[in-house]
Structure 1
């Protein structure tokens, strides 16, 4: 009996050693690793509802910027830039028939102040990707300083479109939209998304795609395990000189040198 038991255990060990577990997904080191010394605190903005950061603080990152839309009154972009705003993502369109009425005002103001800008599109799953891409192209001229952005998140409060496709459909639609814009503008857009959408759809599996992640109550490395991210939206209640009221603030994942290289298309 004892001999039979030992033989069974030995066979189990041999079989186990022959199996291979799932291989870890390869990640881009510069997009995943924290690239700034945690001992350095860079200029930080105010916050109407600050989070008590227990992990790496957003202020440990040197390059910060805003995302804005029609909900922001006219912005004093020169004051914002002087306070440390290094970039702006400006809402241009949503769905297949809505254009943000403040897009041109914000874009021209940022340009005049020397704030690098890109535009973003808020996606609805009630219109096909090619229609939404054409609508964006119709409203956003070439000449942006930054890649444009595809904003994908669930729309439970929409009065007209609350569709929640499966992950495969979501990724296929995103791929079409990104491909069309890349062909037109010459640079692949970034994808902005939220925690629940990221987890529900596996959108992180999109190839050749950089991500801008929303995480206002924890560092992305904790909230989005193993995610590759380029931008982090760390608050929706920021207070920035030159901007009336609360505004979203984001940080770039990298040093000023990395920012200059990436912004130039590197």
Structure 2
């Protein structure tokens, strides 16, 4: 696939509206604003600190019941990964509202799927596709791979690493073909190690590590996004929210958006 989108095509001026409606400040999609965040439980990361990265954002789900997306955007929420689906039949009740609000506010938005090991990957891929619209400028879809200790049916189902990787490839192939974007993989240190994902190549990673830096938690693993806090405080968002950093400079963010956002 030839990705020749220019930055100018992505910098579409939209209304940074309050919660997706009303009047606000016009902010181009993709224009990086410095984070004006706080953290209820900050960590003193050794060596590799989130503050060294200028482009930050959030991930959101039904737990974020009230987001004034326009205000959040003006406080440095440059991107948002929004939970869309789980398994083969669960749609996050906050997805549609968050998707619409982020889009109206000029936040670069992407959707993620929480994977279940009790449903075939083909069924889960089709469910994600059914619920997440192909939208110009959207970030690559995300496959959220972590053990699920809460599901009444899937909590104790933990296949061997070879099975996990096979199911991942099947989901990823279907979703990439539909959206024309190679998905990103989100994971946790335990899941990454137990399923030998250091050898799962060809994909960008979004890594969760809120106690150690990515260099410490995932030795040798490259990453595109780092989820560094689950206790972020941002004006415009009620309650705590996950904080994430992009791996490069503002110029690298612009280049990545030009190459990876949907046509």
TM range (shorter): 0.7 to 0.9
User: Residue 248 of structure 1 aligns with which residue?
Assistant: 242
Structure with greater helix share of residues: 1
User: Residue 34 of structure 1 aligns with which residue?
Assistant: none
Larger radius of gyration: 1
C-alpha distance in 1 between matches for 2:218 and 2:158: 21
Written as runs of structure 1 = structure 2, the 5 A alignment for 1:1-266 is 43=35, 45-143=37-135, 145-162=138-155, 163-265=157-259
Please tell me whether the aligned partners of residues 175 and 206 of structure 1 are also in contact (alpha carbons under 8 angstroms). no
Structure 1's unaligned 5+ residue stretches are 1-41
Please tell me whether the aligned partners of residues 170 and 203 of structure 1 are also in contact (alpha carbons under 8 angstroms). no
C-alpha distance in 1 between matches for 2:225 and 2:87: 23
Superposed CA offset, 1:69-93 (max 9, x none): 0010121111111111110000000
- Equivalenced residue count is 225
Structure 2's unaligned 5+ residue stretches are 1-33
C-alpha distance in 2 between matches for 1:117 and 1:265: 15
Please tell me whether the aligned partners of residues 74 and 106 of structure 1 are also in contact (alpha carbons under 8 angstroms). no
Please tell me whether the aligned partners of residues 113 and 128 of structure 2 are also in contact (alpha carbons under 8 angstroms). yes
Q: What is the SS of the residue equivalent to 2:259?
A: coil
Q: Detail structure 1 runs of 4+ shifted over 6 Å in the superposition.
A: none
Superposed CA offset, 1:158-203 (max 9, x none): 2121211111111111111111010000001100000000000012
Task: Output the aligned Cα RMSD.
Answer: 1.1
